[in-house]
């Protein structure tokens, strides 16, 4: 069987919507899109089978129960579990990891050890930190090289007190797949519970829990074309049987008395309350959808795209490529060169203006990104099997245009503490034709906002801005003066516009401004939307609060 990316993409109705026909979606490590069969299955459950499972005797309840257990069987095959009862439905990988962190540490003693890696998603780090604080446990980390765990050295951190090892199978930030073979050899004969976070792996490789050899494994359906709100927790039968329950309530019990209860057997012991039944129905359709594909051919195609993406990014001057194409689950992570005036969020917003979806930030892997680079944040482009070379070519072309259009013009900045707004005017923006030209103008205006290290304090930080932004304020006579700094050029450009409106104005003058009308006239609505990560609205609101023109 061969894999056709064109036929594959045709199964996803989002891309056929008029507003999405030109969309280049490269944020698949965050979430993938859903094929029509998954959407139909979710709708069909509500249309024909909506009822709670296991507890009722009527036909709708029986049908819903049969659907859930059939999906459990399919999920067992998907992960190569020894039996369906080794699969627990969760809300996603994060819930699965929290369940394990809570239950596995319940009977540990102070001083017992948990081994992690520096490459973990926060979901496989923070729950263990919380458990360690509760039970006085010790966290240790596998030796690494530039953040990549070296599992052939894991014995250096194991001891008689090691009780748990929890590691990622593939990095969500840099895409590298971990070689878990050495872990299997070392942990096979030790009384250590071993957990694998396969959230990124499951979309790109066949997951075989038996071959991996772990005790537990988690993944999320929305990462591999399934619905949101449902994930899988695999556990060996004997490991699940020894695991105390995490939450209490209906479905997970056998007998309840006023002073005590007895709990059911896995998997139902860990499925408290009403599950996301429609999402489970969609998951069942997703697993059937994937079963019909040549997963090996699909993975080979994705690796070709990943290689091509990295090759093209390496050719771009002014870009630091942080990831490597080899043994990668389709993720390319890069940042503006350290000497560049651009920030990762500037690039992401530029690409968004060209209908190219990527992600900017630290990708819920702060320790890894701090080890890997000196950049505060980076851009992540992540592929799926519905992407194409044309998608990558559009990304590269847009990046080239971004780098060319935002060459730093430092001639405006002559001191470290004074902005230079004298040569700027709102009329300059009005004269630009279309949003793209205005965007370029704003990027030039960013150079008028001088660096202000003195205001970069916690108290001056603007909440709601993904790109770190600071504003301070003082009164001179009855007039307001504002000082703004940001890590992102686009926010600096917008700040220059804001300062033109409010600086050296009285409270009454600022309150009289109709900023929304002006911003709409300039086509800035997208920068005022709650979904925009640059948080310009948050900056505007903070300035208005400081001026006394906005209560709260």
User: Which tens digit of pLDDT belongs to each residue from 60-100?
Assistant: 999 999 999 999 999 999 999 999 999 999 999 999 999 99
Q: Which member of 214, 364, 402, 465 is catalytic?
A: 364
pLDDT reading at 158 higher than 90: yes
- Confidence class for position 548, pLDDT limits 50, 70, 90: confident
What pLDDT score was predicted for residue 304? 97
Q: How confident is the model at residue 407 (pLDDT cuts 50, 70, 90)?
A: low
Please report, to the nearest 10 degrees, the dihedral formed by the alpha carbons of residues 87, 88, 94, 95 taken in order: -170
Q: Order the strands of the 359-361 sheet from edge to edge.
A: 319-321, 331-336, 378-382, 359-361
Determine the pLDDT at residue 270.
86
Q: How confident is the model at residue 410 (pLDDT cuts 50, 70, 90)?
A: very low
All structural domains of the chain, each given as residue ranges with its CATH number in brackets, are 5-30+294-405 (3.90.1150.10), 37-291 (3.40.640.10), 410-547 (3.90.1010.10)
What pLDDT, on a 0 to 100 scale, did the predictor assign at position 147? 85
Q: Picking from 234-238, 322-326, 374-378, which range would have the lowest pLDDT averaged per residue?
A: 374-378
Residue 387 near residue 5, CB atoms below 8 Å:
yes
User: Which pair of structure tokens corresponds to residue 363?
Assistant: 């990708």
Kindly report the three-state secondary structure assignment for every residue of 23-83. Answer: CEECECCCCCCCCHHHHHHHHHHHHHHCCCCCCCCCHHHHHHHHHHHHHHHHHHHHHCCCC
How many residues comprise the chain? 552
Quick check: is 219 catalytic? no
Lowest mean pLDDT among 8-17, 216-225, 389-398, 496-505: 496-505
Distance of CA 176 to the CA centre of its chain: 16
């Amino acid at each position: 069987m061969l894999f056709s990316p064109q036929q594959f993409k045709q199964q996803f109705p989002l891309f056929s919507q008029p507003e999405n026909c030109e969309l280049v979606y490269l944020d698949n490590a965050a979430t993938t899109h859903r094929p029509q069969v998954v959407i139909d299955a979710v709708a069909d459950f509500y249309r024909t089978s909506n009822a709670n499972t296991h507890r009722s005797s009527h036909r709708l309840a029986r049908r819903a129960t049969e659907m859930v257990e059939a999906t459990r069987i399919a999920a067992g095959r998907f992960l190569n579990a020894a039996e369906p009862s080794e699969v627990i439905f969760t809300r996603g990988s994060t819930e699965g990891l929290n369940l394990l962190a809570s239950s596995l540490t319940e009977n540990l003693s102070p001083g017992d050890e948990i081994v992690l890696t520096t490459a973990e998603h926060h979901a496989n780090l923070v729950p263990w930190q919380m458990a360690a604080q509760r039970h006085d446990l010790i966290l240790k980390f596998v030796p690494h090289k530039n953040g990549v765990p070296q599992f052939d050295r894991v014995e250096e951190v194991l001891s008689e007190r090691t009780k748990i090892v929890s590691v990622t199978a593939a990095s969500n930030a840099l895409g590298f797949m971990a070689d878990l073979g050495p872990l299997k050899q070392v942990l096979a004969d030790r009384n250590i519970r071993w957990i694998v976070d396969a959230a990124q792996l499951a979309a790109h490789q066949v997951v075989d829990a038996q071959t991996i050899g772990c005790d537990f494994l988690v993944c999320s359906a929305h990462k591999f074309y399934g619905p949101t709100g449902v994930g899988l927790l695999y556990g060996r039968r004997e490991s699940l049987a020894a695991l105390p329950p995490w939450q209490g309530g209906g479905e997970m019990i056998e007998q309840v008395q006023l002073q005590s209860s007895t709990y059911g057997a896995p998997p139902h012991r860990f499925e408290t309350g009403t599950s996301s039944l429609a999402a489970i129905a969609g998951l069942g359709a997703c697993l059937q959808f994937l079963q019909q594909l040549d997963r090996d051919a699909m993975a080979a195609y994705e690796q070709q795209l990943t290689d091509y993406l990295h090759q093209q990014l390496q050719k771009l001057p002014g870009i630091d490529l942080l990831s490597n194409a080899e043994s990668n689950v389709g993720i390319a992570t890069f940042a503006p060169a350290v000497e560049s005036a651009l920030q990762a969020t500037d690039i992401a917003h530029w690409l968004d203006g060209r209908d190219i979806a990527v992600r900017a930030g630290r990708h819920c892997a702060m320790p890894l990104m701090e080890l890997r680079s000196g950049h505060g944040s980076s851009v992540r482009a992540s592929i799926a099997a519905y992407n194409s070379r044309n998608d990558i070519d559009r990304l590269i072309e847009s990046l080239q245009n971004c780098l060319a259009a935002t060459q730093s013009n430092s001639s405006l900045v002559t001191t470290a503490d004074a902005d230079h707004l004298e040569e700027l005017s709102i009329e300059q923006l009005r004269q630009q034709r279309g949003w793209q030209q205005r965007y370029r103008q704003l990027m030039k205006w960013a150079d008028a906002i001088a660096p202000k290290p003195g205001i970069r304090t916690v108290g001056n930080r603007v909440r709601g801005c993904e790109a770190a932004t600071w504003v301070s304020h003082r009164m001179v006579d009855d007039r307001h003066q504002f000082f703004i700094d940001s890590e992102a050029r686009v926010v600096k450009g917008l700040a220059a516009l804001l300062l033109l409106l409010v600086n050296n104005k009285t409270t009454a003058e600022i309150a009289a401004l109709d900023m929304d009308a002006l911003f709409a006239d300039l086509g800035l609505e997208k920068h005022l939307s709650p979904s925009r990560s640059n948080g310009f609205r948050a900056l505007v609101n903070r300035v208005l609060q400081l001026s006394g023109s906005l209560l709260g």
